[in-house]
Structure 1
Amino acid sequence: MLTTDYENGSPNWVDLGTPDIGAAAAFYRGLFGWDFRAGGEEAGGYGMFRLGDKTVAGGMAVPADQGPAAWQVYFQTADADATAAAVTHAGGTVRFQPADVMDSGRMAVFADPEGVGFGVWQPGSNTGLGAVTEVGSLCWTELYTGDIDAAAEFYHAVLGWQIGGVPFDGGTYTTVRPAGTTEEAAVGGLVPLATDPVEDAGRPYWTPYFEVADCDATAAKAEETGGKVRMTPVSLEGVGRMAKLADPSGARFAVIASVPAPPPGGAA
C-alpha cells in the first residue's frame, strides 16, 4: 500500500503536463475538489494541486507541439545521478538529466525501453506528496506494457523493485514493491497491453490511480465536464470499483473506490 513514508522505489510524486493548465485546474477542481496554485517565475510556471492543506499533484502548461497531455509518475531515489546511469545501462533513455529544483530536491525524467516516460525525485526540502491513499489523492500506479518480463527486469535494475503476483480468476496480476518489503507494500502493477481491450497496443504508459468515494459518480462527473470515460466502472472482488478516464485534453488516468482494508488482526 502506498503511504507517505516513502521508500526508494515507491511513487512519491505525480504531475500533469497539459496545453491548458487553467482548463485542467477547473476540471480537476470539479472532479476531486483540488485547488491549483500556480508557481512564480522561479518555478517556471509549475504549480501545485492542493486538497485542503496537502499537495496531491503538480502541474504545468506544456505546449501541444511538445507532446500530448499526460500524467507522469515519479519514483523516489536516494541518488538521481546513479539512477540515470542505471537507466542507460538497462536500455532506457535519459530525457531530462538530473537537476536540482532549488532546495526542494533533485529530479530527472527517463523513458524505459518501450519509450514510456517516468521520473525520479530525490527529496530535499520537498519529501513528496503530502497525501496518498486518501480520497482525492494518488493511491496506485500501473504500467501498461507490451512485455511484462522485460519491464520487470528493467525496473528492477533501475529502481530495485521486487516483483510479486496476486492470483485472480483467469490469471495473475503482477505487482511491484520497493526492495526489502512484503507484498502488502506493493505500490503498483504491470499489465499486458494485449489483454486490455480499451488500450492501444502501440501506446504503453504509466497511469496514476486516484482514490474516490464513489467511482460511478466520479466517472459521470468526468463525462459531464468534458472528460472521457475510457472504461466504464467495474468491480474487482476484494479490490474495489474502478474506471479509466481521460481529462478534456486527453490525459489518461484511473479512479478507484477501494474496498476498505481489514482492521489489524482481522477483527470484525
Structure 2
Amino acid sequence: MSTRDTAWAPGTPCWVDVAVGDVDSARLFYEGLFDWSVESGPPEFGGYSNAFKKGRYAAGITPQMTAGEPAAWTTYFAVADIDGVAAKVTASGGNVVADPMDVADLGKMALATDPAGAMFGLWQAGKHTGYTIANEPGTVIWTENMSTDWVVNKGFYQKVFGWDYDDMSDETFKYATFQVEGRVAGGLGEIAESADATGAHWSVYFAVEDTDQAVDQAVRLGGSVIRPPWDTPQGRMAIVTDTQGASFAMMSAPAEGY
C-alpha cells in the first residue's frame, strides 16, 4: 500500500477519473466492484464525485462534458507549472484540448492529447493533491500508454515530463517503463495497427485481490469482459468495461504480494 498527503512529483501519474453519462450508475458499479465510498461534490463542481478507499482519495467520477461521447478513464500527471507544461505539449507535437483552468482552490487542470491521439490530463495541486492511496486492492496500481507510435510518443513524453526510460523490448514487442526521480511510474508500449481498434490510449490498472473473482463481480454488476484473465510475470490481469463502456484493467499481484 502507498499513501501520500503531499503533491506528487512532477511527471508522476497522480489522479484518474472516469467520464460517464450516468454518474449514479457508475457510482453503484464501482462501489460494488472496489468497495469505494463515492461522495458528490458541491453544485459548483458540476456533479463531479470523489471516490474514497479507506477514507482516502482513490479516483473521480465526472459527468461527460459532451453528450454522446464514449465513457472513458483519464489519467492525470502532476505538474508544478501547468501553463509551462501545456506549452511544452504544443511545442512537442501534442494538442491542448482544454486550456489550464482553476478548479476553485483545489488546483489547476488541463486536458491534452499526445501525437498519437491519446488523451491525458495535467494537474497542478492545490488543496487536492491527487489520489492519496494507491497500490492496494481497489486503487490504482499501474498506468500505461499504448499506441502505434511508440517511438514518437516516447520522445514526446520525455520532452514534456523529462521521463527516463527502461526499455524492455525484444523482437516480439516494444515496451518501456518510465521513471520519475528514479522510480518506475508507468509504461509505454506499441500495438500493431491491426489490433489498434480502440486507438491510442492511456490504460488504468486497478489492483484486486483475485482477478477472476473481480471479473465475475464486474459482470454481475453489468460490466463486460474485453480480455479474460491471463497470467503475466507481474500478476494476473484482465480488461473489462463498466456498465457504460469505459474500459479499465484489473490486476492481482503474484505470490510475493503487492
Does residue 257 in structure 1 map to residue 255 in structure 2? no
Separation in structure 1 between the aligned mates of residue 27 and residue 114 of structure 2, nearest angstrom: 29
1:89-113, CA deviations, whole angstroms, 9 ceiling, x for partnerless residues? Answer: 0111111111111111111111111
Structure 1 equivalent of residue 226 of structure 2: 230
Tell me by how many angstroms 1:52 deviates: 2.5
| 1:192 alignment counterpart | 190
C-alpha distance in structure 2 between counterparts of 1:58 and 1:129, whole Å: 9
Match for 1:186: what amino acid?
V
Deviation (angstroms), 1:173? 3.1
Please report the TM-score for the alignment, with normalisation by the length of structure 1: 0.89
SS of the residue 2:135 aligns to: coil
Assess if the C-alpha contact under 8 Å between 1:116 and 1:204 holds in 2: yes
Aligned match of 2:85 = 83
The residue aligned with 1:68 is 70
Q: 1:55 to 1:118 in 2, by over 3 A?
A: same
Give the SS at the match of 1:88: helix
Q: Which amino acid aligns with 1:204?
A: A
Distance of 1:65 and 1:19 partners within structure 2: 7
The residue that corresponds to 1:140 in the other structure is 142
SS in 2 for 1:71: strand
Query: Corresponding residue for 1:203?
Result: 199
- Rate the CA distance shift 1:234–1:170 in 2: closer, same or farther, 3 A: same
Deviations 1:28-63 (A, max 9, x none): 111101121111112121110111211100111116
Residue 133 of structure 2 aligns to a residue whose secondary structure is: coil
Distance 2:199 2:174 in 1: 22
Indicate the percent of aligned positions where both proteins have the same amino acid. 36
Cα pair distance change 1:35/1:8, threshold 3 Å: same
- 2:218 matches 1:216: no
- 1:254 Cα offset (Å): 0.3
Aligned-pair distance for 1:135? 1.0
> 1:46-91 deviations in whole A, cap 9, x for unaligned?
1101112111001111166352100000000010000110011011
1:163 pairs with 162, 165, 171, which one?
Answer: 165
Q: Which residue of 1 aligns with 2:48?
A: 46
Cα 1:132–1:40 change in 2 (3 A) is same
In the other structure, the counterpart of 1:173 is: 175
Distance (whole Å) between structure 1 residues aligned to residue 56 and residue 84 of structure 2: 30
SS, match of residue 59 in structure 1: strand
- How many Å separate the matches in 1 of 2:38 and 2:98? 25
Distance in 1 of aligned mates of 2:9 and 2:41: 27
Gaps of 5+ in 1: 264-268
SS in 1 for 2:155: helix
Q: Deviations over 1:6-39 (max 9, x none)?
A: 2111100100100011111111111101121111
Considering only aligned residues, what root-mean-square deviation do their CA atoms show, in Å? 2.3
The CA deviation at 1:214 is 0.4
| Number of aligned residue pairs | 256
CA distance in 2, matches of 1:222, 1:186: 29
Contact 2:2 2:133 in 1 (8 A): no
For the pair 1:20 / 2:15, whether they are aligned, the reply is: no
Q: Which amino acid aligns with 1:205?
A: H
Q: Using the TM superposition, give the Cα deviation of residue 2 of structure 1 relative to its aligned residue in structure 2, in angstroms.
A: 7.5
Question: Is 1:33 equivalent to 2:27 in the alignment?
Answer: no
SS in 1 for 2:67: helix
